[in-house]
Chains A and B, each alone.
Chain A
Amino acid sequence: MSRELILSSIRRHLRRGPLPPDHRLMLAARLAQHPRHLIPARSRLPRPEQIALFISQVEKEFGTVVRLSGLEDVPGAIAEYLAQHNLPTRLVAAPHPEITALPWGERPLLEVRFGRAEPSDQVSLQHGFAGIAETGTLMLPSGPERPTTINLLADTALVLLRASRVVGAYEEAWDLLRAERSGGNGPLMPRNVMLVTGPSRSADIEQTLELGAHGPRRLHVLLIDDDPAAKPDAG
């Protein structure tokens, strides 16, 4: 069998047979503990500065961020952003309870559809699972509440993110995901987890950066200031 062929070739060249049980146990323990390695100091900051780092990193990568004091401000902020950029007022939004519960009725001009994105969608709204300050990265795991197509198909991608979900390093975001999923008996990872840093781009034509290659050309984060310790005037 080809599986045995590859495994036995590996063992032959490593000059050993299959690993003895105690060795396997040791390796299984390493997996179970999944130890962290060095975490760069750059994101170990007091909360307000950590949020500020997240924002400046998103902007460095050509994304934009608006800070809102509560979820109720989201529809208005979206309407304003779309008007500013001359974009259509129709959008597809992730069917996350926090998004479906927004006061959409207060902005009757916004036409919102909940579900997966289609190729004709020009604006999409995703629910951010976590933000990573280290590099201004969004963690977007797939699932019924967060379709993957929402991250990819529209030209303008909006992401709703609670400031309380902004962490310093990738490892902290993995911990959030592990904590959320370890209860169930399915696989630890959802089908798809995207780490998104800025809008899509390519430098394939003469090494010159152009935004909007295959994915969104604009990435706009609606950051909800729900973390009292993280407010700009705190601390």
Chain B
Amino acid sequence: MLPTSPAFKENAARALQEERLQKALARTKPQFHTKRAKAVAALPEFEQIRDIGRDIKNHTLQFLDHYLETWAENVERAGGHVHWCPTAEDARAAVLAICQRVGARIVTKGKSMISEEIALNDYLERHGITPVETDLGEYILQLRHEPPSHIIGPAFHLNREDWEESFRKSHTDLPPDRVFRERRDILTEARTKLRERFLAADVGITGANFLIAETGTSVIVTNEGNGDLTQTLPRVHIVLASIEKVVPTLEDATNMLRLLARSATGQDFSVYTTFSTGPRRPEDPDGPEEYHVILLDNGRSSMLGSPFQDMLRCIRCAACMNHCPVYNVVGGHAYGWVYPGPMGAVLTPTLIGIDQAGHLPNASTFCGRCESVCPVRIPLPRMMRHWREREFERHLTPSFARTNLRLWGFFARHPGLYRLATRAGAALLGWLGKRRGGRFTALPLAGAWTRGRDFPAPEGETFFARYQRLERSHAL
């Protein structure tokens, strides 16, 4: 996926205008919030389990070389193969080599963010192999040639009509005048279509939520069961995993699993949590004959020992974006690459470069909600601030923004003054705006900004004040 992160501001402005997206965001946000809150409230030990989760990940990262070696030995002992891939290119080539060796034509795929990161589907297609996404959300996005907008609900931005339209357009062997009376009918059609694919596939590719060093195991977590069909039915199972996924033992993985579903979907546990260790054993009646793990670094090892090391604790639960006021108004596509929201704002610059993704760490109100819900307590706001400072030092920010950032820095250290000043500013602009039909075509100090666009007059309330008001009224 070619990043459009440099155009974050334009993307965000467009997202705010997009009615379909705004409808979807309004529908989704309260659901994620209340479900997580309920699941957390039902487990009194949750905060302690978060601390333990953070410590397990920190311990593993400190000895990452050792745990990866142990894990790889155990994969091989169980008859599997590990492909060490420093770059995305290495990973793509490794997958292709396996597919070509076994003469694969159709490849089914479970949900994997690594697959998006290395842009695997395009690559396979260019080499004459048909990848079929089997997670329902990913499947419809593939039909629509759209990137995911959320790491666990990739198609949450689509409405029911979008599903129906895409299915009519793509499943041309079915009667064009068929009726989708309820959502169930859409699901049934997808299930039938994808069953055919599961059976036709030569290779199944899944991601991995965790790798377990002790046993040489990879773990996937799904609700649909698509990942399990993907890895059980074809002759070859390929796992895509990045180096930070490893944890030492089954008990360590279990602690992480107590955090994952609750933080992600607000379930106590996902429907299918599956542990895979090597290929089919001689006496097994089913399962793949080959088991491969593509182990990807792609810049992660260089985050160790850096101010961004803590980011490697991330278990991709999406709680930070679900609770982010910026994400909740601009959606995932605005971030312009694979990983959106606060975790994306930190991770994307490390993976594709600050010159490409320099805007993302600015997409924050520093309200701190992301850190407060992150199951492994990643200090996301601090790291975003770190990126801002780096960008600042590298003089990537135009001098005007730099001066103002300094001013902002003063206010940020004096939040009381900041609120007072912005409230006064917003009230003033609101008052002026009312006299000018609600738009400014020129603003003092913001000439460059208003040259290309009108500045909508504030309604006399700051973002912060509105955010607090909404917070109170929704009691999130």
Residues of A within 8 A of B (CB): 1-3, 5-7, 9-11, 13-15, 18-19, 23-24, 27, 30-31, 34-38, 40-42, 57, 61, 95, 115-116, 119, 134-135, 137, 142-144, 147-149, 151-153, 170-171, 174, 186-208, 210, 212-216
Contacts and interface: CB of A to CB of B under 8 A. Distances in A.
Given A2-B86, A135-B268, A213-B225, A19 B243 contact: no
A228 B248 CA distance: 38
Given A14-B64, A204-B155, 7 more contacts: A13-B304, A187-B78, A197-B273, A202-B223, A204-B137, A206-B159, A213-B226
B187 A202 contact: yes
B304 to A, nearest CB: 4
Given A19-B65, A38-B49, A198-B271, A204 B153 contact: yes
Contact of A191 (B255, B273, B278): B278
B359 interface: no
B301 A187 contact: no
Interface stretch (B3-11, B67-75, B343-351): B67-75
16 contacts: A30-B249, A37-B252, A143-B283, A149-B285, A188-B214, A189-B216, A191-B277, A192-B232, A192-B276, A196-B271, A197-B269, A203-B223, A204-B156, A205-B160, A205-B183, A208-B183
B416 interface: no
B271 A148 contact: no
Contacts of A188: 214-215
A148 B66 contact: no
B134 interface: yes
Contact of A192 (B198, B214, B287): B287
Given A13-B305, A191-B280, A205 B186 contact: yes
B286 A149 contact: yes
A42 B48 CA distance: 15
A1 B86 CA distance: 10
A10 B194 CA distance: 40
Most chain B Cβ neighbours within 10 Å, of A144, A147, A195, A198: A195
A117 B191 CA distance: 17
Interface of B: 27-28, 31, 43-45, 48-49, 52, 56, 62-70, 72, 74, 77-78, 84-86, 90, 134-137, 140, 153-156, 159-160, 163, 183-184, 186-187, 191, 194-195, 198-199, 213-217, 223-226, 228-229, 232-233, 243, 248-252, 254-255, 257-258, 265, 267-281, 283-287, 295, 297, 301-306
A2 B87 CA distance: 10
Contacts of B159: 206
A24 B66 contact: yes
Nearest to B55: A37
A200 B90 contact: no
B231 to A, nearest CB: 8
Most chain B Cβ neighbours within 10 Å, of A119, A186, A194: A194
Contact of A194 (B135, B160, B273, B284): B273
Contact of A213 (B27, B140, B191): B191
Contacts of A27: 63, 66-67, 70, 248
Contact of B251 (A35, A116, A151, A197): A35
A95 B28 CA distance: 44
A144 B285 CA distance: 6
B157 to A, nearest CB: 11
Nearest to B154: A204
B306 A6 contact: no
Nearest to B156: A207
A86 B190 CA distance: 24
A201 B215 contact: no
A189 B217 contact: yes
A207 B159 CA distance: 10
B255 A195 contact: no
